[in-house]
Structure 1
Amino acid sequence: MFSWFWSQPAAQTPSSSTEILDDPLQHNALTCLRELVVVGGGGTWPPRATYRDSWPLQLRPYDTVWRAMEPSFPVAESSVDNAYNRQLIDSFRSRMRSELAHHLNMADVQSALERAESDPDSCSQAAWLGYFLCMSFLRHSYRWGVTPIVSEAQSEQSLDFPEQLDLPWKYLQQHFDTTSPGGCMTSLMYTNLRPDNRLEYSVTVGMPETHQSTEFWNTKLISEMEVRVLPMYHLFALAVAYLDAGDLVAASDALKSANEILKPALKFFFSTMVEANLSQGVWLAYVQGYQGWTLGGIDGISGGQSLVFRTLDGFLGIRPFPTPEKESLHLPAPQRTWLNFLREYDIRAAAKARGEECAGVTAELESLVKQLRLWRMGHMRRMVPYESAHRPERKTMTAGISVVDASDEDQMIEHLKRQLGQRLAQTV
């Protein structure tokens, strides 16, 4: 059994999750945030999933299947030979179908899923999250057949998944209220970081240490950002509650504290996104690629789906907001409920309507906007060497927007710069 370990202190359950749940203040903002923690995260945010031994017995063979397939998913050197790659993809899928058929009884699987859905005591939310992780890794690896991903798989217009991967997915979509046929930030990233600071599942088994550490830090960065900003979410909810109660001093103080939390969190983002942690030559091929999807016009996951940046945009009224249809692809219902509350409340508009008496609140909100703008400016520069790595075995793409209409990496980067530049211009 492989799980990547990085020698850091074990991650602790953030105390702010408890503080949110124990906060006696009653307001819809806090209700939505508590739902994020309890329902969205299984009692803490970011989610801390539980794995194989916590699942219903009939579902545990899925972990067995992934462990059997895990070492054969990555290859050290990619080929540009389409015929060879087709053979490689078909062989991987054939072996997975064989493993699934050998280990799983679908009548038992369906019975276990029906019971888990109807009887929460038979399967905790943390166990659901761990199972969601496992099924996402199985579906994404089956979709691509090999990593680094290759154009032969990208060119596929459709793909029939085995019943063993399709039937449980319908239950997972229903349980988490998502519509994507592939994984999401929650199921591929947040849930994959164990409390002891290891990855539960990996797509770089057998690869050099640089590959393994890049995969670890990519997941660690996304999850740790949520740990660091959860107190900020709490302060956002409190600021709304205080503003509604007419306590403008308390609202301003809450936002000032939120600014003080956001600054080191964004600094952590950039201090982590460096070559020593995230190899520019490895990230695009081994970490970003398999998170894509491209089938049926459906995109995969991207950093833009991270809750922290969706929360900042929603709270600060940075438009346009994603359409409900787009957001329901990848964001489970509790995340959407939290975001939609912030968007509908529109604290900047509420403060503006109060005029000069809200000057302190408005000033703190503008400081948050300024921090977000500076982050987006820095991110535009940082992403260029990561996204522009030359990968001749695949079409130009990003995981979050599928194949890009660009003939080479330079044109793709210009396309991405235009998109990011547009979002920067909207951050006002």
Structure 2
Amino acid sequence: MANVQAVLSKSESGDSSVRFFQVFKGIAHTTCRWGTIPVVKVAQLDKIINFPTELDLPWGFIRQRYGITSLGGNLISNFHCNMDHARGKVAYAINESMPEPIPSAEYYFTYAFTEPERKALPVYYHLVQSIGCYEMGQKQACIEHLQGVSVHLKSVFQIYYEYIVESKDPRHVFTAYIQGFHGWAAGELINDEYVEYDGSSGAHLVLFNALDYFLGLEPFFHEQDFIKYFSYSQRRFMASIKAHAFRPAAEQADNTGLVQQFEKIAKQLRVSFHETFIIS
């Protein structure tokens, strides 16, 4: 543990001999290993969990480095860093020794939480470009980038249509063996006040929060919750989208072309979430 702390301290101080990203990605990846122990109903009654030093020490560095406060982690630590896309598997599976369809359901669920953000890169590109074009008065180019958002959102939502379905994630498996591990909450005492952190949630996806801000909608989280679950860089990106969102201005100017594209994007969100999470 002393050696681990020494390496982490070097990376925090900017020591060029330490490959910073690899160190922290490895920590986030391996701290999920405790998940091989099932979380049962009795364990969920505990409000404060005394984790061993082997987990507490590196996780403190992770929280400080990425600017999150949650003891339960977030989608980056619990899903993205634990998904081995090259080999097409969950690196440290919760249900590794369980019979099918439990391991497969865990993989499909993890894939459905991580792949949308990978598919969302073109969406982010068109969001940013549409803002730039609008501010420069390039209305037609702005419309084309909004159309690009709609096009690429289809491939994002296709992930949910294909993987969040009964055939891949049976409800009895999902609830009993997967959701409970990621969804339960615990907390800590800060200045003698109990602060609770939720488990990982689809609400932690940057894409849908960024789209809410872009469309001028109220976010799901309160402001303090973003600090719990989103890194510095993610919060800066979403704050920038919010600051430069131009839907109200386009509506006030009665710019029909832009307004129609915003309505199309909003409709995609409503329809896709209804079909994916209600019907399936």
Q: Fold conserved (TM > 0.5)?
A: yes
In 2, Cα distance between the equivalents of 1:291 and 1:213?
Answer: 16
The answer as to whether partners of 1:292 and 1:300 remain within 8 angstroms in 2 is yes
In 1, Cα distance between the equivalents of 2:160 and 2:22?
Answer: 27
Q: Does 1:307 align with 2:206?
A: yes
The answer as to whether partners of 1:184 and 1:331 remain within 8 angstroms in 2 is yes
Q: Does 1:221 align with 2:117?
A: no
In 2, Cα distance between the equivalents of 1:157 and 1:344?
Answer: 37
Identity of aligned residues (%): 28
Task: Find the partner of 1:235 among 126, 137, 149.
Answer: 126
The aligned counterpart of 1:186 is: 76
Counting only pairs closer than 5 Å after superposition, residues 3-42 of structure 1 correspond to structure 2 as none
The aligned counterpart of 2:90 is: 199
- Which letter does structure 2 place at the counterpart of 1:369? A
Q: Does 1:152 align with 2:37?
A: no
The aligned counterpart of 1:173 is: 63
- Which letter does structure 2 place at the counterpart of 1:113? L
The answer as to whether partners of 1:214 and 1:282 remain within 8 angstroms in 2 is yes
The answer as to whether partners of 2:109 and 2:163 remain within 8 angstroms in 1 is no
SS at match of 2:120: helix
Q: Does 1:375 align with 2:265?
A: no
1:133: how far off?
2.3
SS at match of 1:122: coil
1:324: how far off?
2.4
SS at match of 2:89: coil
In 2, Cα distance between the equivalents of 1:274 and 1:235?
Answer: 29
The aligned counterpart of 2:29 is: 133
Q: Does 1:107 align with 2:2?
A: yes
1:126: how far off?
4.2
Task: Find the partner of 1:329 among 206, 228, 235.
Answer: 228
Structure 1 residues not aligned, in runs of 5+: 1-105, 384-428
Counting only pairs closer than 5 Å after superposition, residues 70-89 of structure 1 correspond to structure 2 as none
Deviations 1:216-261 (A, max 9, x none): 1111112221122210110000000111111011000000111111
Counting only pairs closer than 5 Å after superposition, residues 282-293 of structure 1 correspond to structure 2 as 282-293=173-184
SS at match of 1:209: coil
Aligned length, in residue pairs: 270
Q: Which runs of 4+ in 1 moved over 3 A?
A: none
Counting only pairs closer than 5 Å after superposition, residues 320-399 of structure 1 correspond to structure 2 as 320=219, 322-353=221-252, 355-356=253-254, 358-382=255-279
The answer as to whether partners of 1:314 and 1:321 remain within 8 angstroms in 2 is no
The answer as to whether partners of 2:105 and 2:169 remain within 8 angstroms in 1 is yes
The answer as to whether partners of 2:115 and 2:159 remain within 8 angstroms in 1 is no
The answer as to whether partners of 1:185 and 1:305 remain within 8 angstroms in 2 is yes
The aligned counterpart of 1:209 is: 100
- Which letter does structure 2 place at the counterpart of 1:133? H
Q: Does 1:251 align with 2:142?
A: yes
Deviations 1:55-97 (A, max 9, x none): xxxxxxxxxxxxxxxxxxxxxxxxxxxxxxxxxxxxxxxxxxx
1:319: how far off?
0.8
Structure 2 residues not aligned, in runs of 5+: 188-195
In terms of fraction of residues, the more strand-rich structure is 2
The answer as to whether partners of 1:136 and 1:182 remain within 8 angstroms in 2 is no
